Chain A
Amino acid sequence: MRAVITVIGKDNVGILAKVSTICAEYNANVMDVTQSVLQDMFAMIMMVDISKMNSDFVVLGDKLKELGDTLGLSIHTMHEDIFNSMHRI
């Protein structure tokens, strides 16, 4: 089971570190990270393994959203199934 974390907003020092720290806290293993600049916006996409998490997946999403709010970034944590179903036939 994997989830996709996306961070969209203005680039800043330490975003990756802060997001991965929270992932580590909940034992969500970061498997891959890509970064790109799209329409002047910084976008970071992380794929994390959520099968061995030590708490509910939803809690991780809430925590990351909170972080996003304090940093002025929009952080979404979504189960990979949604991308599978939308973009794969």
Chain B
Amino acid sequence: MLNYNAYDILETIRMIQDECLDIRTITMGISLLDCIDSDIDRACEKVYEKITTKAKDLVKVGERIEKEYGIPIIHKRISVTPIAIVSAACKAKNPVKFALTLQKAADTCGVNFIGGYSALVQKGFSAGDVELINSIPEALSVTSNICSSVNVGSSKTGINMDAVAMMGKIIKQSAEITADNQCIGPAKLVVFCNAPEDNPFMAGAFHGTGEPDCVINVGVSGPGVVRSAIKKYPDASIDEIADIIKKTAFKITRMGQLVGSKASQMLGVPFGIVDLSLAPTPAVGDSVAHILEEIGLESCGTHGTTAALALLNDAVKKGGVMASSNVGGLSGAFIPVSEDAGMIDAVNCGALGIEKLEAMTAVCSVGLDMIVVPGDITPETISAIIADEAAIGMVNNKTTAVRLIPAIGKNVGETLEFGGLLGSGPVMNVNTKSPAKFISRGGRIPAPMHSIKN
């Protein structure tokens, strides 16, 4: 009668209980295209109405699934159409009202985050984009659960250097006006190249215009499980390690697929994708850096880190792809510094610097994520870091992102404490030679030759 052997059952329970396996997020994507109105108050009313109607049961359903399957679902989130598109038609020029509306909707629905205070400007600015970008620092300081993102480049279009220059200033400003609150503003702001339209993870989630009206996307978390699996085979060759990771990723992703399809069925909303990314948390035993160390590095950040990460990222995808009917979002390995206990240790012991992190982003899923930099960093240097990262994404046909937090009034050796999933970040050293001339030129970096595929 028992279809499973005891080992399988206990393995699943151990993964959840001891190895921090969980569903990181169920994210409901909601289109706000039908809320557009030239009267900003009317538009905000429609936005509030639509979100609170579509997502009214999201948290309840999430909690129900948690109990039924015994698997923790850490966050319930919402992503919406980039607000710059929604606000473009409004005569009123300050879109912060939308941020406040989203916050009110988040409170009503009980979700942890709403993402989509966003603009897509990879080729240039259209109506509403500049106003939205300029309003980001204020929007992030007057709200607590709203996330913002700006896409400044893509492999198809090149990199909008005017937007890159702007974002350096916006990130700095955003840190300055939240300086008395651990500079939390820019921790909720991502600058992308090749932003995916179905990403369930924050801070970069938004609901793309090609998406259905409403959709459920799921992100899983399981670095601890992967690490424990590798630990059992101390003498395995690299091929065997890749195989172990694949098998583990398969199991983790199957769980995401199950939870996603169940949620979509219970909510009567189509199931979008499972994001295969292994999302770490600051909790001990839930670190991507520790996987790399288990593979055989004394500390994450030393030579060999990029190769080990490439192996991990590839194996996670190969294992995950078969486990899910639709894979999407960012799908890779996340390497946020402040959200990963192993990364924090690696920075503190001097093994991991921003240059190595940049190299790692060429082979992982995202980019320079949750990196705390000295408060006296110039906006031009931030812009130049964004440009470097966007160039890696553009040339390699992959998503890259930058989430830097200037620690106002702090320097290398000090720390910012965000708390919760955002963790705490040591201030990291950056190159202080000026890129100001390069950034001030403006214009657009043309798309690479290999983008011309037709």
Contact = CB atoms under 8 A, between A and B. Distances in A.
Nearest to B63: A58
Interface in B2-23: 2-4, 6, 8-10, 12-13, 17
Given A47-B2, A58-B64, A78-B68, 4 more contacts: A31-B1, A45-B2, A80-B3, A87-B12
Contact of B9 (A45, A74, A77, A88): A45
A78 B6 contact: no
B384 to A, nearest CB: 45
A83 B70 contact: no
Interface of A: 4, 6, 8, 31-32, 34, 36, 38, 43, 45, 47, 57-58, 61-62, 74, 76-88
B209 to A, nearest CB: 32
A18 B450 CA distance: 67
B74 to A, nearest CB: 17
Given A57-B68, A74-B17, A81 B2 contact: no
A22 to B, nearest CB: 16
Contacts of B255: 82, 85-86
B10 A6 contact: yes
B258 A38 contact: no
Contacts of A88: 3
B258 A82 contact: yes
A58 B60 CA distance: 13
Contacts of B1: 31-32, 47
Contacts of A76: 13, 70
A38 B6 contact: yes
Contacts of A6: 9-10, 13
B251 interface: yes
Given A81-B258, A82-B255, A85-B254, A34 B2 contact: yes
Contacts of A83: 3-4, 8-9, 12
A61 B12 contact: no
Contacts of B12: 78, 82-83, 86-87
Q: Kindly name the residue among A31, A57, A81 whose own CB sees the greatest number of chain B CB atoms within 10 A.
A: A81
Q: Kindly name the residue among A4, A62, A78, A86 whose own CB sees the greatest number of chain B CB atoms within 10 A.
A: A86
| In the complex, the 3 A-B pairs of residues with the closest C-beta atoms, listed nearest first | A32-B1, A78-B70, A87-B8
A58 B68 contact: yes
A23 B105 CA distance: 41
Contacts of B6: 34, 36, 38, 43, 45
A78 B69 contact: yes
B68 A86 contact: no
Contacts of A85: 254-255, 257-258
B232 interface: no
Contacts of A86: 8, 12, 251, 254-255
Contacts of A80: 3
A38 B11 CA distance: 11
Nearest to B258: A85
Contacts of A78: 12, 68-71
A81 B255 CA distance: 9
Interface string B241-270: 000000000010011011000100000000
Interface string B64-90: 100111110000000000000000000
A82 B4 CA distance: 11
Contacts of B67: 58, 61-62
Contacts of A36: 6
A78 B67 CA distance: 8
